[in-house]
Structures are given as structure tokens and as C-alpha cells.
């Protein structure tokens, strides 16, 4: 049956993460593999009330087809919040509501990528972005991400040799590494890209989940004409409603809108209305503060357990926010080998391999701390430390 | 700014229908231009109750990320209904939930179409399909649709000369023409395609909205291994929730699932749960009967008004279901010219042009009868008849 399919679909990597999630159905297994927000922190009662109000206020309008741009009041709310929280001026007319930020990636690929065109991508990088862009068969141009952001010398080298249509970044609390681009790194990137026609994708699902350090300047402020800013309510309200957005300069916005119409006409506006009503009637900052307090505590606990239970040669990033940290095994060990031992110890995580476009046997691995309480983190990291030591003996 | 975009996005026609909808904001204009189900028939109270029950039963699960396939119970319901209503055996595992059937077209394009590959498309055909496939830059192979279905001699000719990856059909109450493929036409098409590798898309959003005549055999029964069957709750429950589906043979299903993950992870499952609960707790057949009674009455009224107010040379299809009928102006008149006169008479419709991939000045036009009550239909068709007579005098 192989030849029946498009070439593009053969290029899309399977979601290893989804495969792993199957293992995690065993309740005795502690999972640091997930990429989910903590369900205990969903504002369930508030959303229930918002839903009742939406039914009451809007009648049958909420059931009909709607516009492809998304609900204007929600787009105005998003623009207002950017101004108040980040001092970022965005016109609501430049905000397109999407089915989560993931769809933003698909629409950007549709609108901008010809086959074989360059996409600069973080390594390690977000698997969902690799999947979304693979559909359009680009040439991936990997650039190494470390504690400060992307490797600037590497980026300069890429820009001098290649023409990239897009550069994909998660500058705040990156998935998978948990790192945040420094102020300096951001400004240097903006400088390096200034002489090019490259659009920078600033994917910022975790930006509001900062538990230490200070906020950095968004790329959308540094290079507004060349930035496509993606946002989402998935990590600060609920992910299941599938409401995210793209902020794009007008010429790109207009084409994204055509792509949106062709893709699915419009995002469910019932859930858009509910989220908007929820935002109007509740203190979202207080809610985010609760999430940040929980995730911050869990991250600190995970880091202190790593200090206690992991061999000293295992290194880890120290995130200032978000949901993930990134460990690295010493000389010669691979995270896939560790995974196989860890499953036997009843703890799982995501090995580094799928976060690379270049097919590596990665020594690194991603740990999620948002979904696991502190006591379970202690037990899980202890188990993982045991697996690492077993791997060391094997090797 | 032209060169920044992908070649594919330049190929996507703007939705003329959406442009027209702007004119229809003037309340004094009678619109036969819409493609919407009648909002007065939405089961609002029942959905409200179903929503309350979903909150009560499922707790925070409805807010979390979910699987890309869609809710299994909803897929089982859909499979059961196919068996009971159409004697069609479908495995729930072969049903993928999508954001309306429109997303089904996007996912099929992603999964199957390489640039330049052939897509046999009805002329006139559904604009949303033309848009969705244009993204993948196929070679459109138009085949004429008339009262009985597609022109079989033309289809044979195409199949003998070209290799088509897909054939797109709306065999029941087609959009825009309102026609239904006869039993003979379907069997002949299945025979003609039997020697090819072409997948037939059976897009069936209106199939349950039959107000006269007898149901025909679905392509999914005639050629199950080569049919991709699209369905939707948009026309029988509500469109705003964006819940549709694809039924596909297993090898295609698996690739569609990869495309779905890459496109937006999953369809909002809150609305999937609500629709499922609504279906469990209510008599959907009785609800569909109410829709059918209304649309049938409106269609009959429109046809009798056409007989009364249009010049005898204007012909029209006589739909057995659905939401549209298709008129045709006599010698030399174009529907775009009629549109400009009709706007002045305060009545609008969709000219035929956008339903063709070949850039014609069409004498045909689409009239929607689902959204307009019978008295308004009378007034609107009288106005349109006046505009046609004015056009006749001009010409």
C-alpha cells in the first residue's frame, strides 16, 4: 500500500510521546513522560458557571457556523492582556483563533513553506512542531539550544549558508529543555535575522508560568514585522477546549485566514465564548498564580531529588518556569537504554531522541514535573536514580 | 510581499460565499446565499441539558488533552447508526473524528495528494472542497454533474487518459446543485473506478435530510476498500461544535491519524461528549424528521414560486433533500450580472462561477432554502424573478 500515500505523510515522525503514554496507563508506573497541564488545577466550577452564562446570554448563535477569524471579543481580550502584561501592542485584527497553537503551526506551514525550503529548528525541539512542519517537507536546519538560548555562532553560520523561510523557537521554558532565551540571546537573534526574509515563530504556550527570574522581551516586540507569535489557553485555562491563537503581521494574517478557511472553516466558537466568559468573570492572574506556585514547588522538589538520587555526573537544566526539565547522562549512556531499565523500575520519561530531526542516540531526556505531586516526584526520581546506576553498571 | 508565501496558498480561491455573506448583513436583503442550517431548528434546550450532564458525569476529564482519534463511544454510536440506517458495516476503529467534514478534506489532501496529482471533481462542485484540495496543488479533473449524477462518458474519458488519486463526490443532495446520484450512476462509477487506484470521497453531510424519493446505496457499500466516507453532525445537530468524521480503510486511517496529530492534536472532545450525550438522551430521528419537514416544505414552496415568478426559460433542479437548488438562466445571461441586479432588488444568492475550477462565466446559480421561511421565500423569489426579467431586457 506504500505508493498510495503522499510523499509528505511518509516524512511525518510518529508521536513517540503518544506511544509512551500507553505504558503510563499502568497505575503503578510513575510518569514524568506526560506533557500535560495538571488536571487538578483546572478551574472546573468557574468554567461550568461560564458555560451556563453563555447559554443564557447568546441563545442559538453559539450553535451556528461562525467566522474564520474567531470571536472578536476574545481577540480583543488577548490584545489587551498583551498590552497590560508584556507592554506589547497588538491589533486584535491581527489575531487569528486556532485549534490550539498546534494548528497555528500547520497554518503557518501551509501559508509560508514550499517543499525544500529551510526551517531553522531548535535541537532539541518541540516534537509537535517537527511533526507539523514535516507535512510540508522543508529542509530542517537544526540549531543547538543550551542554557542561554540558541547557539549564536551556529545560527550565524546557518544564515550565511542557507535561506530559511522560518525559524521556530520556544523562547520561554522551552519544550523539551525547560531553558529560557536570555535577553542578550534574543537581541542577537533579532540582529542576525534582520538581514534576512526569515519569519521567526515565537511559540509561547508556557510564558505565563514563570516561577522564578524575570520576564524577557518577546520577539514580537523586538521584530514585530517578522514575528509570528503563538499563544494558547491550554496551559493557563484548559487544553481540551482547543483554543489558541496566532498573532501575525497583516499580509501574513490574510493568507493564514485563507488557510484556516480551507482547513476547517473555523474553530469551535462555543468553547471560545466559554473561555471569554470565564476570563471576564474570574481573576485569571490569581488562577495562574496558583498554577505557578504548584509547578514551582514541584520543579524545586524534582531538582533537589535529582541532587540527592542521581549520580553527580548526570546534569540537568534549572527551569525558571513551564513544565519540563532536561537531564543529560554522562559519557556513552543513551536515554533509550535508560528508558528500558526505568520501565522495569516503574518510572518513565521521554528519551531525547524524538526531539532531534537528525536521528541521534541521545544521552538526554525530558522530565515533566507539572502532573506529579511532590511525594510522588521523590519516589519517582529515586527509582530513576536506581535505573541510572544500573545502567552505569551495565555499560 | 508576494514572494514570501508558499506557492500553494496563492492557489486557494477566496471564499466568494463569505464575501457575499457581508452583503447579507443588511436586514432588508433576503438571502438565498447562505449555506447554513436553520438556526431555529437547533435543539438548544436538549444540548443545554446534555452539557449539564457531561459536567456532572465526567469531571475534569473533559478539560484535559485527549486522543487524536476522537471519543470512542461517539465513534461506536456513528458505526451503530450506519448499520441501523444504511445497513452499512463500519468498524468504529476506522472512524476518525474531525473538526467538521471540512477538516476531513484537509487531512485526506495531506495524506494522499502529491503536487500535480489528479483530483476528479464535480462541476459544479463544493467550493470548500476546491479550497481544501487547492492547498495541495493537485491537477483538477472536472467532470460534469447533471440530474442523474456525474457524466459517465466524461468520467470514462478522464480515467482512460489520466491517473487520478482522488474523486470527490457529494452524491446526496449535492452542494451546489441539489441533485442526487441515481443508483445506476453510482454502480457505473464504482465499475469505472474498479480498475484504478483512485479513492472516492463520499462527502455526505446532507444524506439524512431526505424529504422525497428513496435512499440510494452508499459508495462505502459499493466499494468499501476505495471509499473515504465523510459525515458530520453540522446539519442534523449543530454546526458550531465542529464535529464531523472520516470513515477510512485501515491503512489510510492510520496515515490520516498521523496527519490529524500534526494538524491540531485532536478535536475538542468537550463538544464531542455533549453531542454524544445529546444523542443518547434524545430521539435524533424525530429531530431529523422536524428538520426534513421544514426544509421539504421550504423547497416545495421555492419550486412553486419559481414556476410562478421566473420566466419559463429559467430551469431548476428538483432536489429530494438537502438545502440547495440550482437554477440556470437562458442563452447568454450570466449569474454574476443577475447578482448585481438582484442586490438592488434586495435579494441575493450565490452565482455559479465559484463552483467551477475552470473559470467560467456561469449562467447557473445556487439558491438556499433551509434558512428562509416560506413567506419570505415567496417575496424573495418574486424579487429575483423581477431581476431576471430586467436582465433579459438589458441583454
Q: CB contact, 8 Å: A68 with chain B?
A: yes
User: Are A173 and A320 contacting, i.e. CB atoms less than 8 angstroms apart?
Assistant: yes
Q: How far is residue B124's CA from residue B363's CA, in Å, rounded to a whole number?
A: 12
* Residue (of A221, A215, A252, A281) closest to A95 by Cα position: A252
> Bridge-partner residues for B328, per DSSP?
B315, B364
Q: What is the pairing mode between strands A324-328 and B315-316?
A: unpaired
* Average pLDDT of chain A to the nearest whole number: 94
pLDDT, residue A360, reads: 81
**Under DSSP, is residue A93 helix (H, G, I), strand (E, B) or coil?**
helix
The sign of the CA dihedral B263, B268, B271, B274 is: positive
Q: How far is residue B111's CA from residue B130's CA, in Å, rounded to a whole number?
A: 16
Q: How far is residue A186's CA from residue B16's CA, in Å, rounded to a whole number?
A: 42
Residues of chain A positioned with their CB less than 8 A from the CB of B175: none
Q: CB contact, 8 Å: A241 with chain B?
A: yes
* Residue (of B389, B392, B395, B388) closest to B365 by Cα position: B388
Residue A2 pLDDT exceeds 60: no
Q: How far is residue A89's CA from residue A224's CA, in Å, rounded to a whole number?
A: 10
Q: CB contact, 8 Å: A286 with chain B?
A: no
Residues of chain B positioned with their CB less than 8 A from the CB of A66: 240
Which cell goes with A251? 499580509
* Residue (of A179, A155, A175, A299) closest to A230 by Cα position: A175
DSSP-derived letter for residue A42 is S
**Under DSSP, is residue A245 helix (H, G, I), strand (E, B) or coil?**
strand
Residues of chain B positioned with their CB less than 8 A from the CB of A252: 4
Interface with A, mutate which of B3, B4, B6 (most A CBs under 10 A): B6
Q: How far is residue A321's CA from residue A325's CA, in Å, rounded to a whole number?
A: 10
Q: Dihedral angle at the C-alpha atoms of A179, A180, A181, A184, nearest 10 degrees?
A: -120
Interface with A, mutate which of B54, B226, B233, B265 (most A CBs under 10 A): B265
Query: Which residue matches cell numbers 454546526?
Result: B239
Note whether B263 contacts A62, CB cutoff 8 Å.
Answer: no
Which H/E stretch holds residue A279? helix A269-281
Which H/E stretch holds residue A1? none
pLDDT, residue B2, reads: 44
pLDDT digits (tens, 9 = 90+) for A231-276: 999 999 999 999 999 999 999 999 999 999 999 999 999 999 999 9
Write the residue in B39, B103, B111 that is nearest to A264 by C-beta. B103
Domains A2-42+286-394 and A64-281 share a fold: no
Residues of chain A positioned with their CB less than 8 A from the CB of B40: 60
Q: How far is residue A125's CA from residue B43's CA, in Å, rounded to a whole number?
A: 45
CA distances from residue A117 to A29, A123, B136, B138 in whole angstroms, order as listed: 42, 18, 16, 20
Q: How far is residue B87's CA from residue B222's CA, in Å, rounded to a whole number?
A: 12
User: Are B101 and B230 contacting, i.e. CB atoms less than 8 angstroms apart?
Assistant: yes
User: Are A79 and A71 contacting, i.e. CB atoms less than 8 angstroms apart?
Assistant: no
* Residue (of A302, A248, A297, A214) closest to A108 by Cα position: A248
CATH class of B65-281: alpha beta
Residues of chain B positioned with their CB less than 8 A from the CB of A131: 258, 261-262
* Residue (of B193, B213, B214) closest to B202 by Cα position: B193
Residue A21 pLDDT exceeds 70: no
CA distances from residue A40 to A160, A290, A371, B355, B390 in whole angstroms, order as listed: 48, 11, 9, 50, 67
pLDDT, residue A8, reads: 77
Give CA angle at A107 (A106, A108), nearest 5°: 90
The contacts of residue A119 (CB under 8 Å, 6+ apart) are: A113, A133, A138, A139, A140, A141, A164, A165, A166, A167, A168
pLDDT, residue A319, reads: 98
User: Are B90 and B82 contacting, i.e. CB atoms less than 8 angstroms apart?
Assistant: yes
Size of interface A-B (CB pairs under 8 A): 207
User: Are A186 and A216 contacting, i.e. CB atoms less than 8 angstroms apart?
Assistant: yes
For every residue of chain B, which 3-state class applies, written as one string?
Answer: CHHHCCHHHHCCCCCHHHHHHHHCCCCCCEECCCCCCCHHHCCHHHHHHHHHHHHHHHHHHHHCCCCCCCCHHHHHHHHHHHHHHHCCCCCHHHEEEECHHHHHHHHHHHHHCCCCCEEEEEECCCHHHHHHHHCCCCEEEEEEEECCEECHHHHHHHHHHCCEEEEEECCCCCCCCCCCCCHHHHHHHHHHHHCCCCEEEEECCCCCCECCCCCCCCHHHHCHHHEEEEEECCCCCCCCCCCEEEECCHHHHHHHHHHHHHHHCCCCHHHHHHHHHHHHHCCHHHHHHHHHHHHHHHHHHHHHHHHHHCCCCCEECCCCECCEEEEECCCCCCHHHHHHHHHHCCEECEECHHHCCCCCCCCEEEEECCCCCHHHHHHHHHHHHHHHHHHHHHC
Q: How far is residue A166's CA from residue A118's CA, in Å, rounded to a whole number?
A: 7
**Under DSSP, is residue A343 helix (H, G, I), strand (E, B) or coil?**
helix
Note whether B47 contacts A63, CB cutoff 8 Å.
Answer: yes
Note whether A251 contacts B197, CB cutoff 8 Å.
Answer: no
Give the chain B residue nearest A5 (alpha carbons). B112
User: Are A110 and B135 contacting, i.e. CB atoms less than 8 angstroms apart?
Assistant: yes
Helix axes B335-344, B374-394, angle to 10 degrees: 120
| Chosen CATH of B2-42+286-394 out of 1.10.10.10, 3.30.70.2190, 3.40.30.10, 3.90.1150.10 | 3.90.1150.10
Q: CB contact, 8 Å: B259 with chain A?
A: yes
Q: How far is residue A70's CA from residue A94's CA, in Å, rounded to a whole number?
A: 11
CA distances from residue A144 to A149, A150, A190, B14, B201 in whole angstroms, order as listed: 8, 6, 17, 40, 44
**What is the residue-wise DSSP string for A119-179?**
EEEEES--HHHHHHHHTT--EEEEEEEETTEE-HHHHHHHHHH--EEEEEE--SS-TTT--
Q: Count of residues for chain B?
A: 395
User: Are B322 and B209 contacting, i.e. CB atoms less than 8 angstroms apart?
Assistant: yes
pLDDT digits (tens, 9 = 90+) for A269-307: 999 999 999 999 999 999 999 999 999 999 999 999 999
Other C-beta atoms closer than 10 Å to the C-beta of A7 total 11
pLDDT, residue A26, reads: 78
Q: CB contact, 8 Å: A22 with chain B?
A: no
pLDDT digits (tens, 9 = 90+) for A304-332: 999 999 999 999 999 999 999 999 999 88
Q: How far is residue A83's CA from residue A87's CA, in Å, rounded to a whole number?
A: 4
Domain A64-281 has CATH 3.40.50.300: no
Mean pLDDT in each 10-residue stretch from start to end of chain B (395 residues)?
A: 68 63 77 92 97 94 92 98 96 98 97 96 95 95 97 98 97 98 98 96 98 97 97 96 97 96 95 98 98 98 98 97 97 92 94 87 96 97 97 83
Which cell goes with B365? 446559480
**Under DSSP, is residue A14 helix (H, G, I), strand (E, B) or coil?**
coil
Domain residue extents for chain B: 2-42+286-394, 65-281
Q: CB contact, 8 Å: A175 with chain B?
A: no
Q: Kindly report the nearest CA distance between residue A391 and chain B, in angstroms.
A: 33
Which cell goes with B27? 436586514
Amino acid at each position: 500500500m506504500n505508493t498510495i500515500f503522499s510523499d509528505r505523510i511518509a516524512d511525518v515522525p510518529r508521536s513517540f510521546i503518544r506511544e509512551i503514554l500507553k505504558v503510563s496507563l499502568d497505575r503503578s508506573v510513575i510518569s514524568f513522560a506526560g506533557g500535560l497541564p495538571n488536571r487538578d488545577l483546572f478551574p472546573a466550577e468557574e468554567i461550568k458557571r461560564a458555560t451556563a452564562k453563555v447559554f443564557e446570554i447568546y441563545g442559538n448563535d453559539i450553535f451556528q457556523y461562525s467566522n474564520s477569524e474567531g470571536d472578536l471579543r476574545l481577540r480583543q481580550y488577548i490584545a489587551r492582556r498583551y498590552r497590560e502584561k508584556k507592554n506589547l501592542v497588538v491589533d486584535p485584527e491581527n489575531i487569528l483563533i486556532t485549534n490550539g497553537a498546534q494548528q497555528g503551526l500547520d497554518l503557518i506551514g501551509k501559508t509560508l513553506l514550499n517543499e525544500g525550503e529551510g526551517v531553522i529548528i531548535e535541537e532539541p525541539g518541540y516534537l509537535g512542531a517537527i511533526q507539523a512542519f514535516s507535512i510540508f517537507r522543508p529542509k530542517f536546519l537544526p540549531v543547538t539550544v543550551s542554557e542561554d538560548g540558541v547557539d549564536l555562532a551556529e545560527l550565524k553560520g546557518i544564515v550565511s549558508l542557507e535561506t530559511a523561510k522560518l525559524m521556530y523557537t520556544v523562547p520561554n521554558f522551552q519544550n523539551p529543555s525547560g531553558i529560557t532565551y536570555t535577553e542578550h540571546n534574543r537581541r542577537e537573534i533579532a540582529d542576525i535575522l534582520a538581514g534576512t526574509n526569515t519569519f521567526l515563530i515565537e511559540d509561547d504556550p508556557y510564558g505565563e508560568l514563570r516561577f522564578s527570574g524575570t520576564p524577557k522581551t518577546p520577539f514580537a516586540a523586538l521584530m514585530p514585522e517578522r514575528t509570528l507569535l503563538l499563544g494558547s489557553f491550554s496551559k493557563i485555562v484548559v487544553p481540551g477546549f482547543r483554543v489558541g491563537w496566532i498573532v501575525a503581521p497583516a499580509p501574513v494574517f490574510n493568507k493564514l485566514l485563507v488557510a484556516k478557511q480551507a482547513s476547517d472553516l473555523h474553530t469551535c466558537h462555543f468553547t471560545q465564548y466559554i473561555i471569554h466568559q470565564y476570563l471576564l468573570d474570574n481573576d485569571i492572574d490569581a488562577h495562574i498564580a496558583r498554577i505557578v506556585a504548584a509547578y514551582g514547588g514541584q520543579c524545586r522538589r524534582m531538582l533537589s531529588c535529582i541532587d540527592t538520587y542521581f549520580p553527580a555526573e548526570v546534569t540537568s537544566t534549572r527551569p525558571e518556569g513551564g513544565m519540563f526539565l532536561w537531564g543529560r547522562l554522562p559519557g556513552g549512556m543513551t536515554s533509550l537504554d535508560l528508558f528500558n531499565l526505568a520501565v522495569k523500575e516503574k518510572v518513565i520519561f521521554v528519551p531525547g531522541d524524538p526531539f532531534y530531526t537528525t536521528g541521534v542516540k541521545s544521552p538526554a531526556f525530558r522530565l515533566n514535573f507539572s502532573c506529579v505531586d511532590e511525594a510522588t516526584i521523590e519516589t519517582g526520581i529515586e527509582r530513576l536514580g536506581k535505573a541510572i546506576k544500573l545502567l552505569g553498571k551495565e555499560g
